[in-house]
Amino acid sequence: MSFSPNIVGFACQWCTYAGADLAGNLRCKYPPTIKLIRVPCSGRVEPEFVLEALARGADGVLIGGCHFGDCHYKEGNYKTSRRMIMFKKLIEDAGFDPRRFRLEWISGAEGKRFAEVAEEFTKELQELGPNPIKGGTA
């Protein structure tokens, strides 16, 4: 398995981003496939951002947010969750494999969980192969 997927991760600064930081402090091992973009809240991530990342050559997109009840802005992650239920169906209906998109709740204390998710997602994408829309700009 030589294919190394390119994952864009949108990480909430209050949880998943801190979780990734913790993963580093804990010396957790995970593949160098994920590029994190820090966002104020997972609710800040527009479905358009995900499409754009996929259109510009990402093989997979991960959104990391706080567990329910933990959102710094009270309900940002609830909105993300609703949006992404519909967005997943949208890309599926438009002919795009929804497995390339993932939404995970990872708190700042779950460094290990972050490493696991990165590892799992990388494996899954390796099985799926490169993104059919690879290359070019939107």
Partner 1 sequence: MADKIKFAFLLAGGCAGCEMALVDMAEKLVDALEHLEVVFWAPTVADVKYQDLEAMEDKSIDLAFVDGMIRNSENAHTVKVLRAKSKTLVAFGACATLGGIAAMGDMHSKEELFNEAFKDTFSTDNPEGVLPTPQYLLDGKYDLTLPAFTDRVYTVDQLVEVDYFVGGCPPHHDFVAAAVQAIVAGNLPPKGSWLTSGKAVCDVCKRNPAAKGQERLEVGEVFRTVDGRPDPDKCLLQQGYICFGPVTQGDCGASCLNVNIPCRGCGGPMPGVKDYGARCISAIASSLKDDATAQKMVDKFNNMAKLVYRYSFSSGILNQKLPPKEKSKA
Q: Which is nearer to partner 1, 18 or 45 (CB)?
A: 45
What tokens does 112 get?
């290990």
Which region among 10-18, 21-29, 59-67, 128-136 touches partner 1 (by CB under 8 A)? 128-136
Q: Is 96 in the site for partner 1 (CB under 8 A)?
A: yes
What x-and-dash track marks residues 54-93 binding partner 1 by CB under 8 A? Answer: xx----------------------xx-xxx-xxx-xxxxx
What is the smallest separation between the CB atom of 52 and partner 1, expressed in angstroms?
Answer: 7
Choose between 26 and 82: whose C-beta lies nearer to partner 1.
82
Nearer to partner 1, 1 or 86 (CB): 86
Burial classification of residue 93, based on how many CB atoms lie within 10 Å of its CB (0-12 exposed, 13-18 middle, 19 or more buried)? exposed
* Residue closer to partner 1, measured from CB, 20 or 66: 66
Q: Which of 74, 76, 73 is nearest to 42 (CA)?
A: 76
| Structure-token pair, residue 116 | 């696991």
Q: Determine the Cα–Cα distance for residues 83 and 128; give it in Å rounded to an integer.
A: 24
Q: Which of 26, 48, 67, 72 binds partner 1 (CB under 8 A)?
A: 48
